[in-house]
Amino acid sequence: MGEAKRRQLAIQTQELEAMAVDTPGGRIHVQWDHGASATPNAQLTFFAEFLATTGVYDSWVNSCPLSYTSPNAHSKRDVLGTWLLGVLAGHNRYAHITALRGDAVSAQILGMQKIISEDALRRSLSRMSTEQSQAWLAPQLMGSVQAALSTPWILDIDTTIKPLYGKQSGAEVSYNPHKPGRPSHALHTYWVGNLRLVLDVVVSPGKEHSAAKARPGLIGVLEKFTPQQRPALVRGDCGFGNEPFIAELEDRAQPYLFKLRQTVGVKKLLARQFARDDWSTPGPSDQGWSAVEDTLKLSGWDKSRRVVILRRAVKTDLALSRKTKNEPGEQIELLMPDKDVQAWEYAVLVTNSAYALDAFGQLYRDRADCENGFDELKNQWGWGGFTTQDIERCQTSARTVALIYNWWSWYCRAAKPGARMEAITSRALLLAGVGRAVKHAGQTTLYLTPMHASKDKLLALIANIRAALSHVRAVAQQLPKTDRWKTFLDYVVAKITRPLPPWIPSDRLTVAG
């Protein structure tokens, strides 16, 4: 660069350091302050206190298999801290990390030297093998939930499709309902029902979306539980209601509840059951659903099993159409049901559990909550992104996002035990806030300015969180060897536990075999 250009650049820079800007509100004098320590996520301080008090963050960092020999290399804490900040900020691309590079306050809060670049993060993650990533993250993810499973709970299993837009490993064209023809990955996920907490997630190529590909992951999850922690029910949709899947759970004496596909045998069952006059009467909380039960042995089954049929009258006006074959071309015939025709929506469930008949309507409706969890993780937490060329790093990122999502979910339940807060609202309330750090006499003071309108509500939520952490510290002080994370979960679970439907004696069941 020539001398003239240097002088011109210096003049332009000096002009930008202090300027007058005319706005609709009048003239504003602007000055850049490059030396100030500020952050847009000042309430990260309270979340960092939660991570430090419970010990989960240090456990995650210390167990990471990354290792460096060069003295100029980044530390594990810088790598993982950068990733944590990116996920918490709602990023779904590694490139978005560039927006965090100037936030020295967040780095200090997490004990980091600096926030690393996106390329450095990607290269660091590529240093781990598949086995190392599995051995590191799977126990961490399970450990974030397992200590809370001493009360009866339900394990939900479901699969979501992640569309891909490049030439990634495992990007295969298969079932993709929202973007047909688009290559994808299949994410097999195992949840704690109703809490929307992730026990594990397995990323598979797009063609491996069937129940058979999800079964090994489910068995691996079940084997990690003690007999006291095993789920009261494994629940899934019609993709999992097949003989190999059901038989595997029966061999393990594991209760299950699955929806059945509309096969020929199931349609014959429906024809018989709809003629019965002993359907249960819908209660105030049944949303109009009534039920009957029977036994059924399909052609591919080796024994009869208990089935529950649910039905509800469709109250809205309907118009039915069908294609006619006699007319040339494609003709549509419109059928208008008369007053003597009643339309129904229905579902056929197979189970070996001992719940009472009137409990199944709500039990299966609760399974739909999985879709809300998928929506939150894909659109608010980053499961829809953080994609690399190799499927191994996609697996690592899926488990890491799920782990941080679990931490944040527990944090929000401590703040507001009576309701679940999604990230789109909770991050704006409990994370965002302008903070300015001032250092004096070896002490750092963070001046926090909340930008949310609900300031009084915010202070009450933070008070609830700090009460939970004070309980953990008090127990740890009395019992130094206590598990701080379990103590925290016990505190939160005691406030949010809702009992499952009543269990009925096995001698009242009509299941054969």
Provide the residue ranges of all domains of the chain, joining segments of one domain with +. 1-32
Least confident stretch, 11-25, 88-102, 173-187: 11-25
Number of H helices, E strands in the chain: 16, 15
Pick 68 or 335 by higher pLDDT.
Answer: 68
pLDDT at position 480: 86
Q: Is the pTM above the cut of 0.85?
A: yes
Query: Is residue 429 a contact partner of residue 452, using CB atoms and an 8 Å limit?
Result: yes
- Cα–Cα distance for residue pair 44/61, rounded to 1 Å: 18
The predicted pLDDT at position 330 comes to 56
Asked whether the beta carbons of 46 and 111 are under 8 A apart, the reply is no
pLDDT of residue 450: 84
Which residue is listed with tokens 């059901």?
A: 246
pLDDT at res. 340: 67
Cα separation, 387 vs 166, whole angstroms: 9
Return d(Cα 354, Cα 374) in angstroms, integer.
29
Cβ atoms of 322 and 330 within 8 Å: the answer is: no
| Res 160 pLDDT > 80 | yes
Q: What is the pLDDT of residue 234?
A: 95
pLDDT tens digits, residue range 277-295? 889 888 888 888 899 999 9
Q: Give the whole-angstrom CA distance, residue 143 versus residue 192.
A: 13
- pLDDT on residue 336: 64
Using a pLDDT cut of 90, give the percent of the chain over it.
55
Rounded CA-CA distance 275/238 in Å is 24
**Angle, vertex CA 92, rays to CA 89 and CA 94, nearest 5:** 95
What are the angstrom distances between the C-alpha of 349 and each of 16, 241, 256, 286, 409?
68, 8, 10, 16, 31
- Provide mean pLDDT across the span 117-141: 94
Confidence category of residue 175, pLDDT binned at 50, 70, 90: confident
Least confident of 209-213, 244-248, 280-284: 280-284
- Residue 318 binned pLDDT confidence (cut-offs 50, 70, 90): low
**More confident of the two residues 454 and 47:** 47
Q: How many other CB atoms sit within 10 Å of the CB of residue 248?
A: 16
Mean pLDDT of the region 438-462 = 88
- State how far the Cα of 82 lies from the Cα of 87, in Å rounded to an integer: 9
CA Rg value for the chain: 28
- Supply the pLDDT for residue 492: 93
Buried b (16+ CB within 10 A) or exposed e, 109-140: bbebeebbebebbbebbeebeeeebbebbbeb
**Which of the pair, 463 or 502, is modelled with greater confidence?**
463
- The amino acid at residue 409 is S
- The whole-number pLDDT of residue 339 equals 66
Chain mean pLDDT for the chain: 87
pLDDT at 303 over 60: yes
What percentage of the chain carries pLDDT values higher than 70?
Answer: 89
For residue range 394-445, what is the model confidence (pLDDT) as tens digits? 999 999 999 999 999 999 999 999 888 999 999 999 999 888 888 888 888 8
State both tokens at 319.
């118009």
Question: Taking phi first (over 0 means left), then psi (-120 to 50 degrees means alpha), and beta for anything else, what does residue 111 get?
Answer: left
Query: How confident is residue 95, by pLDDT bands cut at 50, 70 and 90?
Result: very high
pLDDT of residue 98: 92
- The predicted structure's pLDDT at residue 351: 94
The pLDDT score that the predictor gives to residue 166 is: 85
Q: Reduced to 3 DSSP states, what percent helix, strand and coil does the chain have, rounded to the nearest 5?
A: 40, 20, 40
Round to whole Å and give the CA distance between 324 and 26.
71
Report which residue type is found at 464.
N
User: What per-residue confidence (pLDDT) applies to 344?
Assistant: 83
Tokens of 375: 């929506």
Cα separation, 193 vs 191, whole angstroms: 6
> CB-hemisphere CA count at 13 Å for 17?
9
Q: What 3-state DSSP class applies to 72?
A: coil
- What φ, ψ does residue 410 adopt, rounded to 5°? -65, -40
Using pLDDT thresholds of 50, 70 and 90, give the confidence band for residue 327: low
Compute CA distances 161 → 372, 392, 457, 499, whole Å. Answer: 14, 17, 37, 32
Q: Is the pLDDT of residue 230 over 90?
A: yes
pLDDT tens digits for 12-29? 656 566 788 899 999 998
Is the pLDDT score of 2 beyond 70? no
